[in-house]
Structure 1
Amino acid sequence: MTSTIHALPTEVVYLITAGEVIDSLASVVRELVENSLDAGATRIVVSLWPQQWRVRVADNGCGMNLDDLQKAAATHSTSKIYTCADLWKISSLGFRGEALHSLTNLSNLEILSRPAGENWGWRVVYSDGGKVEQVEVAAIAPGTVVNVSNLFANCIARRQGLPVVAQQMKAVQTTIQQIALCHPQVTWQVQQNDRDWFTIYPASTSKKLLPQFIQQVKEADFQEVKLAIPHPSNSENSALSTQNSELTLVVGLPDRCHRHRPDWVRVAINGRMVKSAELEQTILAAFHRTLPRDRYPVCFLHLDISPDQINWNRNPAKTEIYLNEIGYWQEQVTQGIEQALRLSSANIKEAVHITRVSKLLKAAEAKGGYNFNPKNPKEDNNQQSALNNPYSLKAVAQVSNTYIVVEHSEGVWLVEQHIAHERVLYEQLCDNWQMIPIEPAIILYQLTPKQVAQLQRIGLDIETFGEQLWAVRNIPAMLQQREDCADAILELSLGGDLQAAQVAVACRSAIRNGTPMSLPEMQTLLDQWQRTRNPRTCPHGRPIYLSLEESALARFFRRNWVIGKSHGI
């Protein structure tokens, strides 16, 4: 019997490898702009002609000399790593040495480049396999221009298997936005069919960049937190590492912005957007009970950690990784989100107007007969909140037995008493879910087997007491003094997990709207509320307070007017 196993021809091997790295227009853009960023570029121009299967990426990076250009597209050629050990020290975006070589097997490739300090540059055209086909002097600015044309010409089936042009362009836009979010200081110009498509302007932080990507949000709708994090204590290299890792979080404040889908939960590590189901689930869990039902947070997490904690060598796109000590990083992310959602002068910058305040002031001005357009509508996003300590908020009055009027150094707040108390009670229940015995037992009627099982699941001691009768012999401690305790237990029997039960108990036990409160009672509630971990929203996701800043009030009452001039004097 003759052998059927044989070595694949070199050109087949190259095509297989190329197909793993380059599978779409978006992947071409990703690989080329990552090379630009590795070259230190601060301005990148991406031009696309999708119907012609053509891409051009130009940058102002460090450029390449002729020797490097002649080697650039050879198989597995790179300037990023040299030995096996370097795979555990990856600090660049590219390192495999596959992208340019793959493009020579799937398209026509030419590169023009000029190093800074040289008087001229070079243009190199490559043939299949990365061989140099043509070399000539080129007059270009310092930097690099890569032209890819006739993509997938030798693999027409690949073209036919890709989505329609509009979907491919959407993928390109998403790819560029994700990379830009990790490198906010870079200017991006993107063109399609020789027309300007979109521009991304540089920003000092990712927080300042996000409003360019998400409609109808402002910088003040986000909170950014940066934390220095020590290496895991049980890490093999922790004793050798002298530099701490850094965690950067940009969080959409839950009372201001959220999404119908989890499409803006993004994770980046060391300058590259990655897929990490563990970290994404950690983010979603940290926002649980702070958002309305079926809504998702806006959150960008960027971890800058020691390369020895990461194995990038998992797939060609480098988006799926192995992260050592994943439990440790999950814990740090949870703590970072808790800090971002907390109210304190160290981390809250209130806008003069949030959306609800703008609408309120516009309505008030309309009723007052004003027709006023401020000369400078730009909002001051640099005001610091006055919440330095639990006593910085002062209860002044109660409106409609529902809202607490709160004074602080920079304006006035309205706090809804019921949901503020609900947040306090919910976190107390989460920290100390205590069941206490009661005597006599509470008798319930006509429970279904499902309701009985639900009460047992959340810790209630329930047993048959007669035909269609059940006796409940312990209850959550917070319900002990309530006259409607039986109704509350029936509510708990209708379904949900322990957290849902805790929310239900907190809601039923909180001070009702319409209940008169004394000033000391209101002040006590304010002090307790400020100490909660997530003070912006109740467990159902509703906003707890409305802020009227002093500058907004001054604008409304026209305190900047000169009285004499306003009377025509």
Structure 2
Amino acid sequence: MSIQSLPAEVVHLIAAGEVIDSLASVVRELVENSIDAEATRIVIDLWPEHWRVRVADNGCGMSLEDLEKAAMAHSTSKIFHREDLWKITSLGFRGEALHSLAQLADLEIHSRAKTADEGNRVVYNALGDVVETETVAIAPGTVVAVSNLFGHWISRRQGLPSPGQQLKAIQNQIYQIALCHPQINWQVNLDNRAWFALSPGRTPQQILPQIIRNLRFGDLHYSTLAVELESEDLQPCTHQIGLTLGLPDRCHRGKADWVKVAVNGRLVQIPDLERAILSAFAKTLPRDRFPVCFLHLQASPQIVDWNRHPAKAEIYLHQGEWWQEQVKNAIAQALRLNPENLSLAMHQERVTALLKVAEAKNTYRVIPCETSQPIVQSTVIDLSAIAQVRNTYILAEHPGGMWLVEQHIAHERILYEQLCDRWQLVPLETPIILRQLKPAQLEQLQRLQIECEPFGEQLWAIRSAPELLHQRPDCADAIVELSLGGDLQAAQVATACRSAIRNGTPLTLPQMQSLLDEWQRTRNPRTCPHGRPIYLSLEETSLARFFRRHWVIGKSHGI
């Protein structure tokens, strides 16, 4: 057959099918328009059996003139010129969504601009042209109703997942968008009944516990980091890394389903950054466990190319290797121990508030201390060793309460990071003779560069060993353990574990204090290389609640 041009209506259907391919994509496109309209409340109604979706928001709304153009092909208020495609600052910008919905479903929009006294209802045909308008009473904002989705393309319905799977995809879609825009209040209804809701917050740290079961606000750490990168015109440009991560001593998951990356308000797939996140958490989690981490990059539009995927799920990010290093550094800072991520400031604010109330009631006066010296915020917790419990745990006091630190795994973390920085093999004065090593064990010792040579029938002489092990009486057992498998990192973990202070070993106060000081300076002080938590925190606020120090004694005695 000869090549022929497709009819316009077929071309439009094909293009519409690339943008709108499921109920979830309908929700995504409409919600993104609501966010671009600066909505702070979004209500989504779903009737999956009827292939119907309605999205209502309290955004800026549209005038009748804009409504008449809204469903036309490639009509948008987000970009105007060719150059605008390379500096996208909105979620929707191609002008495809509403026109595609008009092609594939029955489309109706109610909207009222915030400056208008009344709203308008507009119904569109399959070409995006207006077929009906009327004036309606409506609050400022927009309501988009999509009915009979794929009604003229029934085969598309048959190829889609089951209704349950589609609903799960919609829920995940809303969760992801809510993380990127935590200031929005979400209400989702299914078949005229409330399904789920998300309360607004200032940061994703307040959204994640609403999404992930058994996750608490205190299990998470939120931080932002400003970084500078030169643009193409060699001008320095400031970007921001927003990081919400689960502290490895408090939460982790069985699969990497909550390692998420967003750029400029939209969740995207950037495998290199996802691998950088997993690498940054290496040896802080138990084996086969994965972190909870949401990374949000606020990058200059000039370094982001959104034109790689119809659903805008994949992008090209300029200077990818540079971003990987910045992400690793941001996570490393977040995992360290410092007053900012231990909520000590919250405790101090509470005490200050109590003092102000007491002063106002003339209970006592607080005389402020005047000093000309600036107060310097310490980056290290002021931990003081005060006792050893069962020759295993170091009891340490700090301004906000006290900690129990397990001495063996704290020392293991110290030694492991030292070995990572300086893995050194030293010659043995007297070789260690090992018997009946298997070929795989010999290959493993060669990979670790441990010198090994035949010494007779089924005998081998080990002539070098890791520096931490070479003077230990159990050095032979340690070499056998290292020969049983694993990479260099696994060998470093095994060496640190065997060399660390054993539980049951009595320590003096100076020894305990020295151990605490060294442990605080490690890069990942929250967990040992096996992923076990190193310390238990007993905060002053928790102790006060347990001992009911807020009770009024006279009232508790019935006076």
The two structures have a TM-score, normalised by structure 2, of: 0.92
The whole-number CA distance in structure 1 between the counterparts of 2:226 and 2:136 is 46
What secondary structure sits across from 2:127 in the alignment? Answer: helix
Deviation readout 1:93-116 (Å, 9 max, x if unpaired):
011111111111111111121111
The whole-number CA distance in structure 2 between the counterparts of 1:179 and 1:4 is 46
The whole-number CA distance in structure 2 between the counterparts of 1:199 and 1:350 is 31
Q: 5 Å matches for 1:508-527?
A: 508-527=498-517
What percent identity do the matched residue pairs reach?
64
Count how many residue pairs are aligned between Structure 1 and Structure 2.
Answer: 531
Q: Which amino acid aligns with 1:245?
A: H
Q: 5 Å matches for 1:397-476?
A: 397-476=387-466
CA contact (8 A) 1:121 1:137 kept: yes
Deviation readout 1:510-559 (Å, 9 max, x if unpaired):
00111111111111100000001111110111010111112222333344
The whole-number CA distance in structure 1 between the counterparts of 2:293 and 2:381 is 31
**Structure 1 stretch displaced more, 152-161 or 316-325:** 152-161
Structure 1 counterpart of 2:44, from 34, 43, 46: 46
Matched residue, 2:262: 268
Matched residue, 1:478: 468
CA contact (8 A) 2:338 2:381 kept: no
CA contact (8 A) 2:338 2:380 kept: no
What secondary structure sits across from 1:171 in the alignment? Answer: helix
Structure 1 counterpart of 2:323, from 325, 329, 335: 329
**Structure 1 stretch displaced more, 342-351 or 438-447:** 342-351
Matched residue, 1:236: 232
What secondary structure sits across from 2:60 in the alignment? Answer: coil
Matched residue, 1:293: 287
Matched residue, 1:361: none
**Structure 1 stretch displaced more, 286-295 or 463-472:** 463-472
CA contact (8 A) 1:255 1:541 kept: yes
Matched residue, 1:197: 195
Matched residue, 1:371: none
CA contact (8 A) 1:441 1:471 kept: yes
Cα distance, 1:387 vs. partner? 10
* 1:248 aligns to 2:246 (yes or no): no
Deviation readout 1:416-453 (Å, 9 max, x if unpaired):
00000000001111111111222222221111111111
Instruction: Identify if the C-alpha distance between structure 1 residues 121 and 399 changes in structure 2 by more than 3 Å, giving closer, same or farther.
Output: same
Superposition RMSD in Å? 1.9
CA contact (8 A) 1:46 1:191 kept: yes
Q: Which amino acid aligns with 2:465?
A: I
The whole-number CA distance in structure 2 between the counterparts of 1:325 and 1:524 is 42
The whole-number CA distance in structure 1 between the counterparts of 2:325 and 2:529 is 21
Q: 5 Å matches for 1:90-169?
A: 90-169=88-167
Matched residue, 1:318: 312
Instruction: Identify if the C-alpha distance between structure 1 residues 65 and 392 changes in structure 2 by more than 3 Å, giving closer, same or farther.
Output: same
What secondary structure sits across from 1:230 in the alignment? Answer: strand
What secondary structure sits across from 2:537 in the alignment? Answer: strand
Structure 2, unpaired ranges of 5+? 348-375
* 1:284 aligns to 2:267 (yes or no): no
The whole-number CA distance in structure 2 between the counterparts of 1:343 and 1:439 is 41
Q: Which amino acid aligns with 2:258?
A: W
Cα distance, 1:346 vs. partner? 2.7
The whole-number CA distance in structure 1 between the counterparts of 2:464 and 2:332 is 33
Cα distance, 1:459 vs. partner? 2.1
Matched residue, 1:370: none
The whole-number CA distance in structure 2 between the counterparts of 1:499 and 1:387 is 35
Cα distance, 1:566 vs. partner? 4.5
The two structures have a TM-score, normalised by structure 1, of: 0.90
Q: Which amino acid aligns with 1:269?
A: V
Matched residue, 1:489: 479
Matched residue, 1:302: 296
What secondary structure sits across from 1:180 in the alignment? Answer: helix
Q: 5 Å matches for 1:220-231?
A: 220-231=218-229
The whole-number CA distance in structure 1 between the counterparts of 2:425 and 2:34 is 61
Cα distance, 1:482 vs. partner? 1.0
Q: 5 Å matches for 1:497-516?
A: 497-516=487-506
Cα distance, 1:69 vs. partner? 1.4
Q: Which amino acid aligns with 1:163?
A: P
Cα distance, 1:257 vs. partner? 1.0
Structure 2 counterpart of 1:545, from 523, 535, 538: 535
